[in-house]
Amino acid sequence: MNIALNTGVFALAIIAGALAPSARGAEIVAENAFAKKPTIEAPSFEQVKTQLLDWLNERKADAAAQAAVELIWQSPGEQENAGDRLDRLAESFAAADPRAQSLADLCSRMRAKGPLAPQAWLTADETPAFERDNLRLFYGRWLAHEGLFDESLEQIAELKPEQVVDPATLLFYQGVAYHRLLDKEKGLKTLERLLDETADLPVRYKSVAELMQDDLKQLKEESLDHISRQMNDIRRRLHLGRAGKKVRQVEDDVIAALDKLIEDIEKNQQQSSSSGGAGGSGSAQPTKPMQDSRIAGARGPGDVNHRKIGNTSGWGDLPAKQREEALQQIGKDFPSHYRDAIEQYFRKLASENE
């Protein structure tokens, strides 16, 4: 399995800052003549501005708010994209709506410890859909950056691409949340829409989405890798101070999966022992004696090079270069946390030999 992903896919892209709003670029995936024709397109700068001005008029915004919005939407940047328009929109809502200002302030900094303030107005029917849907995407993106994937989905799972000004960001962060929560079916469906149906897809989204898609395709439920990821999810939830029903459910799932895995191993061992005891291929006893009493033929001279092992200091140690090569190979074949465990083992050995 391609384990280079695991939980590191999102960490690589988001925690390292590659997907942070400040790192947003205008680089777009080149069009492939043989690919499906995209059907999901983001509205243009002028279309979004027109919708916003209509919203301001319906709200009867004061002159100061209208002037602030006009300043924000003076002209598109040289490399303007849908993500930039989403940020402009959030800033504009904040200029006219104190609730949006409070939300924008929250999303401008790292999450503080403790429970999040409720944002019930974001789902209220009286909040205009144009403001409500786009701010839910804005908020959901921030929640995903903070590792709050369940909360992110509460905001964006039900949104449709046509409801927001940045469909690519919506589908991408839906896919990220499904991937991190190990929802294979919804994750693959969402990532397929992102990769196959979305126009003007940023390269950074495409690259990470393809990694997540490949990772989910290979993920098998109740495998050791799947159990390992569930354990990581438990640690993440507990680190966030979550210890409710969802955490206990994941813990129960892990225990059940481990029990099944152990049971399968024991059954396989019993079957091997049974087949071996019955004179099968696993038996150490000969089933047919030699035809004549004679020395069994040996084709080689029987000479071996005598080596001194196990009785000198440093026995079993690998040179530093070969040890690093072995660790690199482990990183390719096993989950990333296996490498951490093995590195700790080497450090422990080194400290014991000092």
Please, what is the average pLDDT of the chain?
78
What is the rounded CA–CA span in Å between residue 177 and residue 157?
9
Q: What pLDDT was estimated at residue 18?
A: 45
Q: What pLDDT was estimated at residue 29?
A: 54
> What pLDDT digit, counting tens, does each position of 14-29 carry?
433 445 444 444 455 5
What is the rounded CA–CA span in Å between residue 89 and residue 52?
8
Which residues, at least 6 apart from 309, have a Cβ–Cβ distance to it below 8 Å?
315
Specify the amino acid at residue 250. Answer: V
Specify the amino acid at residue 125. Answer: D
pLDDT band (50, 70, 90) for residue 5: very low
> What pLDDT digit, counting tens, does each position of 42-90 carry?
999 999 999 999 999 999 999 999 999 999 999 888 888 999 999 999 9
> What pLDDT digit, counting tens, does each position of 244-262 carry?
777 777 777 777 777 777 7
> What pLDDT digit, counting tens, does each position of 181-207 carry?
999 999 999 999 999 999 989 999 999
Q: Which of 31-35, 172-176, 245-249 has the highest mean pLDDT?
A: 172-176
What is the rounded CA–CA span in Å between residue 161 and residue 30?
21
Q: Is the pLDDT of residue 284 over 60?
A: no
Q: Is the pLDDT of residue 302 over 70?
A: no
Question: Global pTM?
Answer: 0.65
